[in-house]
Amino acid sequence: MRRLETQRQKTYFVRLMLAQLVVTLLGILLAFSIAHLAGVLSVLKGALVALLPHAFFIQRMGIFRAKRRLSGAMDLFRAEAGKFGLTVALFSLVFVVAPPSNPAFFFSAYVAVILTHWLAPWLMPRKSHNLLR
């Protein structure tokens, strides 16, 4: 039973990452049609500031690890705190080292990628024994 739940969570995270990548690609296409390369770079920076901490969180929680995953509340807290710290560091790094040429595209891409979590009810696989539908 636990194995099915683990498989369900893995499927959810894969679908969520794919949805975030699709949102990023749509943002890139929109930015290219409006602001060309400068807009595309701003969208990429915004999407990476959202995607990298999320990937860190998934790795830290051990979702895709073959061995036992972390399940305690402290492990969740540490992973979430690390994700927050990485987000702050990436925002600082982007604005100090390579400021986006179009902040509207940067923040729009960041918010759009973050809000794909709202798609969770549609991305979560149904509770069934056949998860490969």
Q: State the DSSP string of 22-57.
A: HHHHHHHHHHHHHHHHHHHHHHHHHHHHHHHHHHHH
Q: Which one is predicted more confidently, 128 or 59? A: 59
Strands (E), 1-133: none
The predicted pLDDT at position 66 comes to: 59
Which residue pairs from 86-89 have beta carbons closer than 8 angstroms and sit at least 24 positions apart in sequence? Answer: 86/52, 86/53, 86/56, 87/49, 87/53
Residue 133 has a pLDDT of 46
Question: What's the whole-model pTM score?
Answer: 0.80
pLDDT attached to residue 24: 94
* Tokens encoding 94: 């982007």
Segment 41-74, tens digit of pLDDT: 999 999 999 999 988 988 888 777 656 555 678 8
DSSP conformational letter for 124: S
